[in-house]
Copies of this chain bind each other. A is one copy, B any other.
Amino acid sequence: MSAQRRQLHLNLFVYPGGHHEAAWRYHGSDPGRVLDIAFYQDLARRAEQAAFDAVFLADGPSLPDNVRYASRFRLEPLTWLSAIAAATERIGLIATASTTYSEPYNLARLFASLDHLSRGRAGWNIVTTGAPDAAANFGLDEHPVHAERYDRAREFVDVVGKLWDSWEDGALVADPGTGVFADTGRVHPVNHHGRHLRVRGPLNTPRTPQGRPVYVQAGSSEDGRAFAARYAEAVFTAHQTLESAQEFYADVRSRAAALGRDPDGLLVLPGISPFIGSTEAEARALQEEFDELTQPGYSLDLLRRLLGLELGEEELDRPVPRHLIETGGERGLGSRFQLVLDIVDRERPTVRQLLHRLAGARGHHVVAGTPEQIADILQRWFEQGAADGFNVMPPWLPGGFDVFAEEVVPLLRRRGLFREAYQGRTLRDHYGLARPESVYATAPAAVPAPAPAPTTAPARQKEHVPS
- Chain B residue with the shortest CB-CB distance to A107: B106
With a 10 A CB-CB cut-off, give which of A32, A64, A116 has the most chain B CB atoms: A116
- B67 pairs with A187, CB closer than 8 A: yes
- Chain B residue with the shortest CB-CB distance to A35: B116
- B35 pairs with A103, CB closer than 8 A: no
- B61 pairs with A174, CB closer than 8 A: no
Report A196 CB to chain B, min CB distance, Å: 9
Q: Kindly state whether residue A322 has any CB partner on chain B within 8 Å.
A: no
Q: Which residues of B contact A223 (CB under 8 A)?
A: none
- Chain B residue with the shortest CB-CB distance to A171: B67
Tell me the count of chain A residues lying within 8 A, CB to CB, of chain B. Answer: 75
Q: Which residues of B contact A24 (CB under 8 A)?
A: 174, 176, 181
- A117 pairs with B204, CB closer than 8 A: no
Take A24-B181, A83-B86 as given contacts and tell me if A76 and B136 are in contact as well, using a CB distance cutoff of 8 Å: no
Contact of A67 among B67, B83, B184, B295 (CB under 8 A): B184
| A residues 124-178 touching B (CB-CB < 8 Å) | 133, 136-139, 172, 174, 176
Q: Kindly state whether residue A346 has any CB partner on chain B within 8 Å.
A: no
- Chain B residue with the shortest CB-CB distance to A72: B181
- A37 pairs with B86, CB closer than 8 A: yes
How many Å lie between the Cα of A337 and that of B222 in the bound state?
55
- Chain B residue with the shortest CB-CB distance to A31: B174
10 shortest A-B CB distances, which residue pairs? A86-B86, A136-B200, A82-B82, A31-B174, A76-B113, A63-B204, A79-B113, A37-B117, A139-B198, A25-B176
Can you identify 23 A-B contacts, CB atoms within 8 angstroms?
A: A24-B181, A32-B174, A35-B116, A35-B206, A37-B86, A68-B182, A69-B179, A71-B181, A72-B181, A74-B109, A75-B205, A76-B113, A79-B79, A79-B82, A79-B110, A79-B114, A80-B82, A82-B82, A102-B103, A103-B103, A133-B200, A136-B200, A139-B197
Known: A85-B86, A133-B200. 7 other contacts (CB 8 A): A62-B204, A76-B113, A80-B113, A82-B82, A83-B83, A102-B103, A137-B201
